[in-house]
Structure 1
Amino acid sequence: MPAFFPIPSLRRRAVAALTVAACLPLAALAADWKPDHPVTLVVPYSPGGGTDAQTRVVAKELQQIWGQPVIVENVPGADGVIGTRKVIDAKPNGLTLLVQLPSLTLIKHLPTFKGSDPLAQLAPVSAFSALPGVVTANAALPVKSMEQLVRYCKSAATPCSVGTTENMARLQARIMGEENALPTLVVANYKGGGQMITDLVANNISFAIAGSTAVLPFVKTGALRVVMTMGDKRSAVLPDVPTAIEAGYPSFDATTWYGLFAPKGTPAEIQEGIAAAVRQAVKREDVRKSLFTIGAEPVGNTPAEFAAMVQREAKRIDAQVKRFPLD
């Protein structure tokens, strides 16, 4: 028998109640979604670097929140493309996620890359941390600033070499050589930060463009020296080091974010659930302390906010590549 509401006010209340009830399941899914199987976070770079270290801090906390194993899988190779492809091809069910940084926006510009832009095949979910990149020199070099490093490389008997671990750092090295008239600058690209830092400490390369996470332990021992940070403000763990703007190198004014991406087509409620867990994780004091120790700051934003960050970075990179095409 159909429902009958003889009094208009009662009818209005019933309709409102039904409307709220219809909306509740989606809201609950978005807020309360949790994986029912282990989750894999694919890091498309080698173990031992800054991306790997930060991912493991967040993965440990997500495991506690979800009550499911959260596995960090390193899949290096092809400038991050191999690991990125693995996630693009995964089922869009929230169980396989990609950890990436701004170099993701550069992949489509690589001369060796063929196919569709990976960024268009992924859904930005949430950035969990951010930190400035740094220019770090071997402490044996007679330099204490970026200006001195450039001057040294112009007059050194042996060409200077700069270590990089991902596409963005390679582009920055290219810009550094072009803008500072260093035609003999040798760019050494590594698969991961661990080996690059080992070579830098051994003085096999002159300096490196890296995240502060990987270099901080060696800065504290005096083996390495940071001559410039690349963020828009001084690093809390390197307060005496000038930013790119302060040092007079505006092309290097960029903060690196680290975030989770899901395969395109992942339902919105799953994306929101993952983002909510990330926000919860980075609010915890032990996570904040761990990130700060390695030079990073917690972020934790919504899919929409992270997508806006990614698009801003993509536009900035497009403009830089137009000025400095990659060979």
Structure 2
Amino acid sequence: MMHRRFALSCFLALSMAGHAQAQSPTGYPNKPVKFVVAFAPGGPADIIARLLGQRLSDSIGQPVVIENKAGAGGSLASGLVAKAPADGYTLMLNTSSFAVNASLSKNASFDAEKDFVLASVVASSPNLLVAYPGLKAKNLQEIMVEAKSGKLNYGTAGAGTTPHLTAEYLFKVLGKVNVTHIPFQGAGPALAATLGGQVEMASVALPAAVEMVKGGKLRGLAVTSDKRVASLPDVPTVAESGFPGFEDYTWVGVFAPSKTSTEIVNYLNLEISKILRSADFQAKLALVGFEPVGGTPKEAADYLKVEINKWAKIIKETGVKID
């Protein structure tokens, strides 16, 4: 059984209560802010970066520039941003893969717990297992039967992403079958390969694939939420598909280099919290399968520690390794 998502429902209210008096740091921002996205266009980090970036630009009065730096399951961007000036002008949009890589990446060029501060957990989404429409197996139970042949494979946004670990846990630990993992540099490329039949399946955060499933381009096999999602009501949960209690999510956060001043981090947190409370922004998130999260920097830091410990245990249980 996968660990349940951390209880985040009260974060938005707590965030506003804790930072209602935060003020803009003197002179900040006075030039464009860069969002370094840890994955290729089309994935959850990229979707949130573009939705949030537009609104944050309006809020802070400066352009927010999006720069995708995909590679190594998000670790390439982490290594770059860890060395960036801690002035609030270079921020990273990364997913829960950041927490995974804290123990999975043995040769990382950064320390996940020392080199970054998590300014805000922006949003979360369940993961989704999708299949090439031509695949003979029509649902997760049939996939498990076919997987006994040892010939199936699946793509992900990269080794060390939570959809990767989710699938490994589902196939190896619960299903006791071997399905070959094919890592890509983002959910977009993984889904493109699935559309083209280069891989049979993909395990991705739901927002990256929801429109493809709605349009019939891909077949939704199972979603990892505790209940079916409104955007894909015909896709069953993993729990419904024979694995009771299974639940997992991918979250997206805004990270800054650890030496960034508390004033700047609190300011960014407040501005993001204001955006997350907006009804129209919440509607945009819901449309693509995200839920707003929010929370204070302290709550975000505590949550990150929980996530790092959780995924370390799952990595040990699944035996996942990367080169």
Shorter-chain TM-score: which interval?
0.7 to 0.9
* Identical amino acids, percent of aligned pairs: 29
State the alpha-carbon separation in 2 of the partners of residues 182 and 139 from structure 1. Answer: 22
C-alpha distance in structure 2 between counterparts of 1:115 and 1:70, whole Å: 26
Of residues 155, 162, 169 in structure 2, which corresponds to 1:163?
155
User: What is the alpha-carbon distance in structure 2 between the residues aligned to residue 309 and residue 108 of structure 1?
Assistant: 14
Residue range with higher mean Cα deviation, 139-148 or 189-198: 139-148
Shift of 1:214: 1.6
> What is the match of residue 9 of structure 1?
none
Deviations 1:274-302 (A, max 9, x none): 01111111222332222222111222221
Letter in 1 for 2:131: A
- CA separation of 1:28/1:304 partners in 2, compared to 1, >3 Å: closer, same or farther? closer
Partners of 2:166 and 2:248 within 8 A in 1: no
Change (3 A) 1:111 1:314: closer
Which segments of 5 or more consecutive residues in structure 1 lack a partner in the other structure? 1-26
**Matched letter for residue 204 of structure 1:** Q
Q: 2-side partners of 1:36 and 1:244: how far apart?
A: 48
Q: Which of 175, 179, 187 is the matching residue for 2:181?
A: 187
Q: Which aligned pairs between 1:119-130 and structure 2 lie closer than 5 A?
A: 119-130=113-124
Quote the offset at 1:324 in angstroms: 2.2
Partner in structure 1 of residue 12 of structure 2: none
User: Is the contact between residue 78 and residue 110 of structure 2 (CA under 8 Å) also seen in structure 1?
Assistant: no
Q: Greater Rg, structure 1 or structure 2?
A: 1
Match of 1:95 among 69, 89, 109: 89
Partners of 2:254 and 2:147 in 1: CA distance: 38
Give the distance between the partners of 2:316 and 2:74, measured in 1 at CA. 22
Task: Show the counterpart of 1:201.
Answer: 195
1:86 aligns with: 80
1:273 equivalent in alignment to 2:275: no
Residue 248 of structure 2: which of 243, 246, 254 is its match? Answer: 254
Q: TM-score, normalised by structure 2?
A: 0.85
Count, aligned residues: 298
Whether 1:52 and 2:17 are equivalent positions in the alignment is no
Which stretches of structure 1, 4 residues or longer, exceed 6 Å deviation after superposition?
Answer: none
Sort the Cα spacing of 1:71 and 1:251 in 2 relative to 1 into closer, same or farther, 3 A: farther
Task: Quote the RMSD (CA, aligned, Å).
Answer: 2.2
Deviation, structure 1 residue 182: 2.2
CA contact (8 A) 1:107 1:113 kept: no
Q: Give 1:193's aligned amino acid.
A: A
Deviation at 1:28, TM superposition (A): 9.0
Aligned partners of 2:292 and 2:170: how far apart in 1? 29
Please name the residue that 1:32 is paired with.
24
Q: Which amino acid aligns with 2:22?
A: A
Q: CA deviation at 1:207?
A: 0.8
Q: Which amino acid aligns with 1:217?
A: E
Larger helix proportion of the pair: 1
Structure 1 residues 222 and 116: CA distance shift in structure 2, 3 A: closer
Alpha-carbon contact 2:132-2:201 (below 8 Å) kept: yes
With 139-148 and 44-53 compared, the bigger mean Cα shift is at: 139-148
Distance of 1:247 and 1:236 partners within structure 2: 18
TM score, norm. by length of structure 1: 0.84
CA drift at 1:173: 3.4
Preserved CA contact (<8 Å) 1:201 1:223: yes
Q: CA deviation at 1:259?
A: 0.8
Deviates more, 1:58-67 or 1:43-52: 43-52
Q: In the superposition, relative to structure 1, how do residues 177 and 269 fare at CA in structure 2: closer, same or farther (>3 Å)? A: same
Is contact 1:111–1:326 with CA below 8 Å preserved after alignment?
no
2:114, 2:224 → 1: CA distance? 27
Over 3 Å counting, the alpha-carbon distance change for 1:230 and 1:28 in structure 2 is: closer
* Rounded Cα–Cα distance in structure 2 between residues aligned with 1:119 and 1:149: 38
- 136-145 or 267-276: which moved more? 136-145
Task: Determine if the alignment matches structure 1 residue 141 to structure 2 residue 147.
Answer: no
| More divergent stretch after superposition (142-151 vs 216-225) | 142-151
Question: Counterpart of 1:75?
Answer: 69
AA aligned opposite 1:32 = S
> What's the CA shift string for 1:83-103, capped at 9, x where partnerless?
111211112221111111111
Query: Structure 1 residue 194: deviation in Å?
Result: 1.9
Structure 1 residues 222 and 64, CA gap change in structure 2 (3 angstroms): same
